[in-house]
């Protein structure tokens, strides 16, 4: 254990202790100055109480392990967990403080149910926009009943990953993608799944759709059985995140980039689950690329890479992006560009990508639903501004549509239009 | 429609009702202390009511930073009343008991599990014992100025000790060393 950890688990005075001791000193000084005994009697319990609280508390740092998980879908974020103490630990006076990631808002105050050996809690947060966040474990301290001393509670606790994106992306993996392998052909996977060649029969799971149930086998055996299939790789896809600054300002850019990151994680997960080769690149001033690959390790690397993508303060030229991508990715790979298309040079990127041989589909998070802070307009001015913004946006999208299909992502919790577009190979190639 | 998942019960506003008996005890002890003080009774009553009322009001706010200093009005009223109190056994006893009543009331925090006073009882008894020893010494020993000076000297030593311990809380910590 480090010195810092030892320090963290030792006793600490709370602000109320300092208030009592301060009042005690004042009372003592008054008693001495006035040569009166009563203020000294008032000072005595104020001095003694913090030490009495420390002496009557637990003699060692408590130990308790945290077991928590995230539930809910789309904008609903529900964290439920239990803090379990060691057999001798009394958790009645344990206090939990939950740090909330900045892109989530509290829907209800935390619900906490305590017993001597455990503390159960439930947090209800809301994600206004698709997001990818990490919830740090709560700060857990034991505090004496008088609120005079406290000490950190030790134990196992891990941060939680909160990915919230439109639930429709879970079905995206069924989309057939083009392959760009040198020797195309059937690429068998060791995984079994929901599509491909018949592999075998297993007991049905509650999540299996009716089409996967083997009704003949079910009738013979007398319980629900499902078919399993050998997955084959469906193809390759490149996710390109435009992280360049726009004229909307840093705050709006961050919200849009957060939604873009969440969508990129959802898309990458869905395709990677079906054994497609997935590549990722982000473009700010320069390109950061992760070549096409599949497998669990690659999925984790992609997830981390997407999560750590931040907005750039300098916009690189579009041609640089296309030229750099050609060094990492073969031409012909289906490219999903996620860009708000509000930057000055955003519309130029698609022609450059097409010229280098990347069939591109643009998913464009719209800035319209993002609230603008610090600007107060009259209702009629607000309506006019919204109308002008819509016209400007329509013009931007139309300019890009001449080169590649564009999906205007305005309802952040739905990507139905995007999935429909991907399912039609003719349309997604822009032919 | 997907049914709402089962959730944990929640008290209204995350709080439970406070014990009025403890608040009554604090108010009664403070008013009694004001009555034995030398300040005019109406002024004393106003100081006592203001101190206790201010503390209750600050403690009922939702802001944690304010709640930490909620005891300040009651402590201020106590010091003011104590400054004007004569050195009689009753005043000295009440001077020691009122802060303990305040501590007992603080232990009944509506945001925490009920039974706080019971769990804080060992610490409160320790404080009560210290006050009882000091008061009985003052009451049984012959009165005089020397006693005040003696007590003050002891408390100055205690203050220095407090100052030292504030910087070294580990002196009373029983946590085993990391290398053990």
Task: Assess: ipTM above 0.85.
Answer: no
Task: Tell which residue, A234, A228, A229, A237, has the closest CA to residue A186.
Answer: A234
Q: E strands along A354-405, which residues?
A: 360-365
Helix (H, G, I), strand (E, B) or coil at A358: coil
pLDDT digit string (tens) for A342-401?
Answer: 877 777 899 999 999 999 999 999 988 887 766 677 788 888 888 888 898 888 888 888
- How close is the nearest chain A Cα to the Cα of B54, in Å? 15
d(CA A96, CA B100): 28
When CB atoms are compared, the residue of A21, A51, A71 closest to B5 is: A71
pLDDT digit string (tens) for B93-130?
Answer: 999 999 999 999 999 888 888 888 899 998 898 888 88
A74 interfaces chain B, CB cutoff of 8 Å: no
pLDDT digit string (tens) for A246-288?
Answer: 888 888 888 899 999 999 999 999 888 877 889 999 999 999 9
A14 interfaces chain B, CB cutoff of 8 Å: yes
- Do the Cβ atoms of A92 and B109 come within 8 Å? no
- Do the Cβ atoms of A37 and B109 come within 8 Å? no
- In which band, very low, low, confident or very high, does the pLDDT at B13 lie, cut at 50, 70 and 90? very low
- pLDDT value at residue A381: 84
Q: In chain A, which residues have their Cβ closer than 8 Å to the Cβ of B151? A: 37, 40
- pLDDT value at residue A390: 87
Phi and psi based region of residue A155 (left: phi greater than 0; alpha: psi -120 to 50; beta: remaining): left
CA torsion angle for A383, A394, A238, A264 (degrees, to 10)?
10
Q: Which of residues 95-114 of A touch B (CB under 8 A)?
A: 108-114
- pLDDT value at residue A338: 94
* Residue A377 φ then ψ, to 5°: -125, 155
Secondary element (H or E) of residue B73: helix B72-83
């Amino acid at each position: 254990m480090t010195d810092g950890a030892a320090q963290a688990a030792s006793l600490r005075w709370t602000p109320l202790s300092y208030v009592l001791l301060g009042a005690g000193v004042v009372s003592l000084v008054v008693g001495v100055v006035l040569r009166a005994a009563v203020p000294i009697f008032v000072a005595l319990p104020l001095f003694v109480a913090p030490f009495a609280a420390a002496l009557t508390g637990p003699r060692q740092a408590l130990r308790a392990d945290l077991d928590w998980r995230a539930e809910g879908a789309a904008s609903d974020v529900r964290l439920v967990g239990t803090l379990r103490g060691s057999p001798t630990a009394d958790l009645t006076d344990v206090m939990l403080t939950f740090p909330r990631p900045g892109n989530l808002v509290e829907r209800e105050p935390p619900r906490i149910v305590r017993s001597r050996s455990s503390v159960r809690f439930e947090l209800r947060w809301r994600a206004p926009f698709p997001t990818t966040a990490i919830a740090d474990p709560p700060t857990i301290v034991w505090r004496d009943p008088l609120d005079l001393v406290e000490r950190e509670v030790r134990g196992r606790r891990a941060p939680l990953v909160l990915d919230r994106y439109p639930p429709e992306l879970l079905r995206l993996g069924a989309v057939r993608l083009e392959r760009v392998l040198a020797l195309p052909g059937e690429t068998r996977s060791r995984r079994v799944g929901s599509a491909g060649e018949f592999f075998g029969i297993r007991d049905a799971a509650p999540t299996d759709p009716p089409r996967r149930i083997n009704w003949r086998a079910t009738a013979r055996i007398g319980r629900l059985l499902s078919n399993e299939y050998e997955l084959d790789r469906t193809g390759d896809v490149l996710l390109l995140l435009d992280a360049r600054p726009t004229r909307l300002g840093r705050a709006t850019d961050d919200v849009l980039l957060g939604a873009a990151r969440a969508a990129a994680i959802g898309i990458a997960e869905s395709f990677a689950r079906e054994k497609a080769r997935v590549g990722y690149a982000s473009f700010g001033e320069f390109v950061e690329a992760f070549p096409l690959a599949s497998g669990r390790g690659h999925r984790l690397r992609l997830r981390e890479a997407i999560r750590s993508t931040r907005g750039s303060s300098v916009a690189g030229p579009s041609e640089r992006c296309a030229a750099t991508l050609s060094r990492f990715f073969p031409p012909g790979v289906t490219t999903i560009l996620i860009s708000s298309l509000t930057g000055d040079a955003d519309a130029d990127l698609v022609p450059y990508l097409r010229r280098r041989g990347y069939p591109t589909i643009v998913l464009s998070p719209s800035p319209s639903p993002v609230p603008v802070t610090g600007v107060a307009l009259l209702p009629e001015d607000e309506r006019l501004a919204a109308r002008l913004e819509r016209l400007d946006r329509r013009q931007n999208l139309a300019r890009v549509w001449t080169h590649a299909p564009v999906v205007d992502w305005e309802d952040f919790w739905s990507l139905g239009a995007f999935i429909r577009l991907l399912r039609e190979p003719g349309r997604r190639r822009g032919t | 429609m997907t049914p709402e998942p089962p959730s944990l019960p929640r008290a209204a506003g995350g709080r439970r009702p406070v014990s009025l008996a403890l608040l009554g005890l604090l108010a009664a002890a403070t008013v009694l202390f004001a009555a034995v003080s030398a300040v005019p009774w109406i002024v004393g009553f106003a100081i006592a009511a203001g101190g206790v009322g201010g503390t209750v009001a600050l403690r009922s706010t939702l802001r944690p930073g304010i709640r930490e200093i909620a005891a300040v009005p009651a402590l201020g009223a106590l010091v003011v009343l104590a400054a004007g109190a004569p050195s009689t056994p009753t005043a000295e006893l009440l001077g020691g008991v009122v802060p303990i009543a305040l501590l007992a009331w603080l232990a009944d925090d509506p945001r925490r599990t009920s039974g706080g006073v019971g769990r804080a009882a060992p610490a409160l008894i320790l404080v009560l014992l210290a006050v009882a020893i000091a008061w009985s010494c003052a009451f049984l020993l012959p009165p005089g100025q020397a006693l005040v000076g003696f007590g003050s000297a002891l408390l100055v030593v205690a203050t220095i000790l407090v100052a030292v311990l504030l910087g070294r809380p580990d002196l009373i910590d029983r946590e085993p060393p990391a290398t053990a």
